[in-house]
Amino acid sequence: MASDISNLRKFVSPEIIFGAGARHTVANYASTFGARKVLIVSDPGVVAAGWVADVIASLEAQDIDYAVFTNVSPNPRCEEVMAGAEFYIEQGCNVIVGVGGGSPMDCAKGIGIVSTHGRHILEFVGVDMIDRPIPPLIFVPTTAGTSADVSQFAIISDQAEMIKVSIVSKSVVPDVSLIDPETTVTVDPFLSACTGVDALVHAIEAFVSTGAGPLTDMHALDAIRIINTHLVDLVNNPKDIFLREQIMLGSMKAGLAFSNAILGAVHAMSHSLGGFLDLPHGLCNAMLLEHVINFNYPEAENRFKVIAQTLGIDIRGLTTLQVKQRLIQHLVALKANVGLTQKLGINGVTPSDIPILSAKAMTDPCILTNPRRSNQRDVEVVYEEAL
């Protein structure tokens, strides 16, 4: 009997070192990869926080040469990737270390792609467009949310088209992820809230994605539970290292889930929005979340019920509609408790922008695994509700 291969699932992840002080082991991994010279990719804020200095100290202790590239915007741009790749080649580097939030890590992935292929970064947009191995990537994430350090996504901002584009390939899964909760103590409460909600959305979208499976479900549900339990406390107690560690763990699990199950309409619409307005990615997700859940609910009722239970909602005796209402109320309250109550309108989105935003969202790979098939008009309605 021929077996049905449509239910096969693959799972990719980096080698992960998790725990306080992980950042100090960069040089051990760089030397394992035969580093001649390391390109450190970061941004000015992360340098000011002192995390790049720790990485440099680790490399210098083992006499490993390095160069530093920090020309990275909060939403990394094509031209920054191209400049970074040129600098990487010029400096004769052969290993890349990304230190920072999603932006330096995504930029580092882009630099790796361009430096080996010698073509423009926009030629790799989409799924599995990379055909040569890229340099070894060692990542030290300094925010708990984007999970670029464990994912097969690189998100780059195309300023000319005012859109964020997705490059999806297992080639951009880092070789080593050094997940050190100490690096997040310098993150302010607003960014902690944005990145924490981003991780929660990763987990929710991964669980209802059409690409979900047993290997991703366990990480997604655990991430939802951990973030729901600890995020509000963290935003109120930003120096608490136990809470930092928990949210970092939740973010990592959400990343392992979404990197393999992919995402859905929240992210497709958020990438379009973030490219259009240059807003924090987590804030874009937060503004769209309940509206997309409302749209998707009929196609994934049972999965949303499991999410509701994982969030601690008692669904016994509730109708389907009541479960949906309770789930949305819970998420709206959670966002309010971490200070994310903004709507699209207050950030400058007008009704006349919606057709353009929607057309761009329809081209994002994340829309392909959304549980409910959507056309451009569906997406327009969801944006309208979020105004």
Q: What pLDDT shows up at residue 9?
A: 87
SS (H, E, C) 105-159: HHHHHHHHHHHHHCCCHHHHCEECCCCCCCCCEEEEECCCCCCCCCCCEEEEEEC
Burial class (CB in 10 A: 0-12, 13-18, 19+), 213: middle
> In the structure, what pLDDT confidence band is assigned to residue 2 with cuts at 50, 70 and 90?
low
Rounded Cα distance between 196 and 186, Å, is 15
Distances (CA, A) of 90 to 39, 62, 85, 145, 248: 11, 23, 9, 33, 35
88 close to 40: Cβ distance less than 8 angstroms: no
pLDDT tens figures, 303-339: 999 999 999 999 999 999 999 999 999 999 999 999 9
Residue with tokens 């949303």: 304
Q: Check whether 218 has a pLDDT greater than 90.
A: yes
Nearest to 115 by CA among 138, 148, 141, 92: 92
Residue with tokens 């007008």: 350
SS3 content of the chain, % helix, strand, coil (to 5): 60, 10, 30
Phi, psi (rounded to 5 degrees) for 163: -145, 150
pLDDT tens figures, 175-197: 999 999 999 999 999 999 999 99
Rounded Cα distance between 335 and 357, Å, is 24
Q: Which amino acid is at 18?
A: F
Q: What pLDDT shows up at residue 3?
A: 66
Fold of 15-184: Rossmann fold (3.40.50)
Q: Check whether 358 has a pLDDT greater than 90.
A: yes
Question: CB neighbours of 125 closer than 8 A, spacing ≥ 6?
Answer: 165, 166, 167
pLDDT tens figures, 245-285: 999 999 999 999 999 999 999 999 999 999 999 889 999 99
Rounded Cα distance between 321 and 240, Å, is 38
Domain boundaries, the chain: 15-184, 189-386
> In the structure, what pLDDT confidence band is assigned to residue 7 with cuts at 50, 70 and 90?
confident
Percent of the chain with pLDDT over 90: 97
189-386, superfamily in CATH?
A: Dehydroquinate synthase-like - alpha domain (1.20.1090.10)
Range 228-256 average pLDDT = 97
Question: CB neighbours of 85 closer than 8 A, spacing ≥ 6?
Answer: 110, 111, 114, 115
305 close to 155: Cβ distance less than 8 angstroms: no
Q: What pLDDT shows up at residue 76?
A: 96
Rg (CA), the chain: 20
Range 101-114 average pLDDT = 98
